[in-house]
Structure 1
């Protein structure tokens, strides 16, 4: 007798794919099986069923920590810190930023994402070595690596950071961290500056060569693969951007004299993690797969083909309205990033869309990761999603889609050429519009905004940015070779503020999916402030509560998406009673709610009575049809943005 690892399965006949298909088709009652297939906007099928057959088609997988590192960079995760908990610090005042940083490190954060800006408008106001010393006072860089966030002044800040590390007597050969150089990404977001890119790439290569000799564990370049995601792009576009950017830097570094292994070691990749847990897991697995192939093509040894990934919770999924719901979205993003094998994870403050981070918002973000580590035990295994039919198959399909798009980019001259030509932005814009349509049509949802809008939302505290840097009298860091820039920074030279370039092509613009819906809510609030009353609609019901309740609830929720209030739906004795109740409200919009049979029998008569009572427009909650006097139908697949805009027009909210 042999022991079985699956005793609960004993005695049951194995069901193969063909038997499942027969049962599924029977349940569909003649509808095609394709009806169950859900696809990403890249056209990648997400099911409905993944089986061992799908998994076997991918071929054997390496062990965790083995080249080409499809399952992560390490064979066994640190049981106490399975991934780096990276927190964003961007308080404008250097002293406040230092206090926030020390508090975060004391609370469990292990890495710092430091956002710097000489003006203090978009980050910590640092211009000189002295000011950087204020920010980093008390921070043990050998225990808590600091990763500078990409910016136009990143080369200067990189020199400042390395001068600080050296002057502190730290062993640069063992220090970890990142310099945040990202000239291609920054110019893609700026929409100009192509004439300066060759020089910027040269300086970036100089920085990579310097670090290869003195600080080999410092990541020089941050490839912001999450940029197309935040602009509304798809998973395949994010993967292609990562490969295109990585290939561009590899060419520049190798041309400058670095070995392929040194060039690859200088790169860190940032990917977005959003509330779609399974897609996030599959995307990170796909990213390692495609990058290993790119690195191999450049001649990297097997040991250098691994991709260092920092997963950052998505900004585009966050909402300014009912911002507390962002906690749920961030939790899903953190779960996907951790299970997907990210080396470091940043969870954005949940109040980011409404203002600067508060200590509470930061604490919630870091504690989420600690819970994932210590309570959900996601770090116990090196690759928790490994072997999953779903994640392995979907990851492989995403990798193929991303690789195909990357090849298109290469054929067009490389990543930056596609950006200059506007091709990539146009492709991302198509995807963005398709995503917004999915939310508007109810196929995707943002709870609290596109579904179940909360018109009595509880306010969320947000920080303020009001710091003004003191006047400074110091020479500036002029353009020069990177090694000389470090010396100038050590001598007290100040960051030279760079003007934004003239826009010569459409930039990649970050967005949030909730923005068009929140614009409707903002217009409703402005109307209420102006008139003293929120815009209101009336629910004209037919029959008993059980007959109209479902559609009345739907209509109330659909109108709330645009900030239009409704009173509690109630029963009326007859049509005249309903019309009288409507007249008493003074509303201009009425939505008839009831059953299909009730619509056939009474909707026309009720519509006429409502018109006589002063209704400017009458809608029906239900499938589109033809009912005299009814101007519009709202239902599960009607376009909620168009519904809201129409309601505003009827109620005088918009001109």
Structure 2
């Protein structure tokens, strides 16, 4: 026997692609090789194998991390010296509760304080609120990420006033306090004040931050409004970069240099369930941004993208929510392999309501496990060199660039939104996703596949922001002073000065409003993949509560267990996806026996389950006897049949066929309507 050193030197001959293909074709047993190719929502063809030949023509394949174009990362050492920031979004019902939660979570491993004002759970209206929120929190130790929505002036003014009162130097604060008016426009369909006024504020805040808060970014570009509308990876990138270009141009027109604005933009992308596509998306984002800033004349340093990621809200479910832990873990893994600078991992109950201590801990620890136990940070660009990922990165970048150019040709992202072009693009992909979920080509475990009707639901009380501005009375003196300062184009200085004089956020926002017309566009509908089936489940539960039982489908199983089990299991899972009960039966061997059992069952909808061979004689006999005994019931057959056999069965009285190609959602809706189940579609 060879010793270990000899074994280490033994090599195996590398098979050629032709040899590999020959072996694969043998295993396919007559099926076409082309069956191994697939097409993504981005309309990119995925090959069954990638080789060196696929990457030979790629321009950036030999680059190193931290060097120009930055496709492999903006830092030469990746995460080794500084890992990504654990940036879990935190909400609460009051400033005091928020302060307690932040302190607790920072102690438990969170490394960035993360606020989304629209989802915070309480209004930040005054300096008192800021004081309660940040009391006892070391702002020079932790970075801050504030997603302020359409405009950040009111929050930034209150925050700056708080720092000034506490004599905390502005330059010790680092992170992002950013505004994204176009993202808000896409999400809500409206903006007030006007886009031009918001650009004035953006430019002024950026100039001020450059001098006073040099370590704080002032603009956020969010891809989430598009992702959560159903957009694919290419669309999310293209629309985000079109937005960023709009912001750069607006700031250049207002006297802000490209090297001042570009480094103050942070991108925020959702990370969905297509693992390799999401890795490629983040890598492509670095390449595209580098080219854009270079085109504006920006320096190499300005070409480095700042990128936050959040695991997808779009993929999360209300039912069987603990599966969301697995979804979020895979998405977080993709985000870190892709090289995000900071990350929010969705708590498993995000789709249900505000996170509690347990769901926050699991989400936070998902990141810590990737960091401390999976050692993701110990490898620089772990996806680099993969023939598949490198090819996919180049394809995503190329397609995103083409779509970005289309938007530019239409006059930019705002005009493209006003024309409905962006909405049409997103809706086209959303329809495709919805159809694939409804037909169960896209599987959502616990929702349209393997639904668990015995599961106890996770109950939550939603936090509402409806009261956010209603309780605040506007001080006329404050409003007049703010309007006078804003009229002189002194946005941030006026707002900070008035915040120190106890002006409120509402007063600052009211003073921002101008006589210029606000803009209205068709909003991009925000939804989740699981919602169609969740609506059916809720309808079934309401029916159960009202009548004491779920709407039910009855099976007529033919023959012995091996003869019907596969199709009976399929039909059971099919209808349980809508929360319906599936009443099973022992195998029957004659039409008389089947009808007798059906009469005793007293159902309204029946499905015959068996093998194709067993169907030939018994199905027509069951159908004819059934329609005589119970003419108003519906009778279906499990499994796709040849057209001539289907026609024979239909003539005998069969109402339809249920098989793997059926639209599960539409079929359940049809059954429920016939049963009198109230649907809120």
- Give the one of 541, 564, 567 matched to 2:580: 564
**How big is the shift at 1:654?**
4.4
Deviation per CA, 1:397-453: give whole Å up to 9, x if none. Answer: 111111110000000001111011111011101110101111122221111111111
1:92, 1:125 within 8 Å by CA — same for their partners in 2? no
1:115, 1:124 within 8 Å by CA — same for their partners in 2? no
How far apart in 2 are the matches of 1:376 and 1:609?
63
How far apart in 2 are the matches of 1:135 and 1:17?
61
**How big is the shift at 1:633?**
1.4
How far apart in 1 are the matches of 2:388 and 2:635?
47
RMSD: 2.5
**How big is the shift at 1:26?**
4.5
Alignment of 1:291-370 (within 5 A): 291-370=289-368
Q: Work out whether 1:622 is the aligned partner of 2:622.
A: no
Report the counterpart of residue 243 of structure 1 in structure 2: 241
Q: Specify the SS of the correspondent of 1:570.
A: coil
Alignment of 1:22-101 (within 5 A): 22-28=22-28, 31-59=31-59, 60-79=61-80, 82-101=83-102
How far apart in 2 are the matches of 1:650 and 1:516?
18
How far apart in 2 are the matches of 1:613 and 1:69?
73
How far apart in 2 are the matches of 1:271 and 1:460?
28
- Give the one of 438, 441, 445 matched to 2:439: 441
Report the counterpart of residue 609 of structure 1 in structure 2: 625
Report the counterpart of residue 383 of structure 1 in structure 2: 381
- Give the one of 500, 503, 509 matched to 1:493: 503
Alignment of 1:444-523 (within 5 A): 444-465=442-463, 475=475, 478=482, 480=486, 481-496=491-506, 504-523=520-539
Report the counterpart of residue 399 of structure 1 in structure 2: 397
Q: Specify the SS of the correspondent of 2:171.
A: coil
Deviation larger for 551-560 or 138-147: 138-147
Q: Specify the SS of the correspondent of 1:113.
A: strand
Q: Specify the SS of the correspondent of 2:617.
A: helix
Alignment of 1:531-550 (within 5 A): 531-550=547-566
**How big is the shift at 1:506?**
0.9
2:192, 2:518 within 8 Å by CA — same for their partners in 1? no
Q: Specify the SS of the correspondent of 1:353.
A: coil
Alignment of 1:7-18 (within 5 A): 10-18=10-18
Q: Work out whether 1:644 is the aligned partner of 2:668.
A: yes
Q: Structure 2 vs 1, CA of residues 513 and 263 (structure 1 numbering), >3 Å: closer, same or farther?
A: same
Q: Structure 2 vs 1, CA of residues 150 and 581 (structure 1 numbering), >3 Å: closer, same or farther?
A: farther
How far apart in 2 are the matches of 1:323 and 1:437?
22
**How big is the shift at 1:205?**
0.9
2:268, 2:307 within 8 Å by CA — same for their partners in 1? yes
Alignment of 1:172-251 (within 5 A): 172-193=170-191, 196-251=194-249
Report the counterpart of residue 635 of structure 1 in structure 2: 659
Structure 1 gaps of 5+ residues are none
**How big is the shift at 1:629?**
1.8
Q: Work out whether 1:589 is the aligned partner of 2:605.
A: yes
How far apart in 2 are the matches of 1:507 and 1:6?
66
**How big is the shift at 1:122?**
5.5
How far apart in 1 are the matches of 2:464 and 2:170?
36
Report the counterpart of residue 116 of structure 1 in structure 2: 117
Report the counterpart of residue 281 of structure 2 in structure 1: 283
**How big is the shift at 1:25?**
4.0
Deviation per CA, 1:186-212: give whole Å up to 9, x if none. Answer: 122221238700110111011111111
Report the counterpart of residue 419 of structure 1 in structure 2: 417
**How big is the shift at 1:374?**
0.9
How far apart in 1 are the matches of 2:363 and 2:575?
33
- Give the one of 153, 162, 165 matched to 1:164: 162
How far apart in 2 are the matches of 1:555 and 1:330?
30
Deviation per CA, 1:73-130: give whole Å up to 9, x if none. Answer: 222245586110011122131111111111111111111221335xxx8633211112
How far apart in 1 are the matches of 2:678 and 2:621?
30
Deviation per CA, 1:330-363: give whole Å up to 9, x if none. Answer: 1111111111111100012221222222111111
How far apart in 2 are the matches of 1:195 and 1:427?
27
**How big is the shift at 1:9?**
9.1
How far apart in 2 are the matches of 1:6 and 1:252?
66
Q: Work out whether 1:429 is the aligned partner of 2:427.
A: yes
Deviation per CA, 1:440-499: give whole Å up to 9, x if none. Answer: 222211111111111112322424437978955664564522222122222211011769
Structure 2 gaps of 5+ residues are none
Q: Work out whether 1:267 is the aligned partner of 2:302.
A: no
Task: Give the TM-score normalised by the residue count of structure 2.
Answer: 0.90
Report the counterpart of residue 147 of structure 2 in structure 1: 149
Deviation larger for 471-480 or 184-193: 471-480
Q: Structure 2 vs 1, CA of residues 437 and 503 (structure 1 numbering), >3 Å: closer, same or farther?
A: farther
Q: Structure 2 vs 1, CA of residues 174 and 382 (structure 1 numbering), >3 Å: closer, same or farther?
A: farther
Q: Work out whether 1:553 is the aligned partner of 2:569.
A: yes
Q: Work out whether 1:102 is the aligned partner of 2:126.
A: no
How far apart in 2 are the matches of 1:492 and 1:474?
11
1:240, 1:405 within 8 Å by CA — same for their partners in 2? yes
How many residues align? The count is 649
Deviation per CA, 1:374-403: give whole Å up to 9, x if none. Answer: 111111112111111121111111111111
**How big is the shift at 1:613?**
4.6
Deviation larger for 639-648 or 402-411: 639-648
Q: Specify the SS of the correspondent of 1:511.
A: coil
Q: Specify the SS of the correspondent of 1:270.
A: strand
How far apart in 2 are the matches of 1:168 and 1:49?
60
1:436, 1:513 within 8 Å by CA — same for their partners in 2? yes
**How big is the shift at 1:150?**
3.2
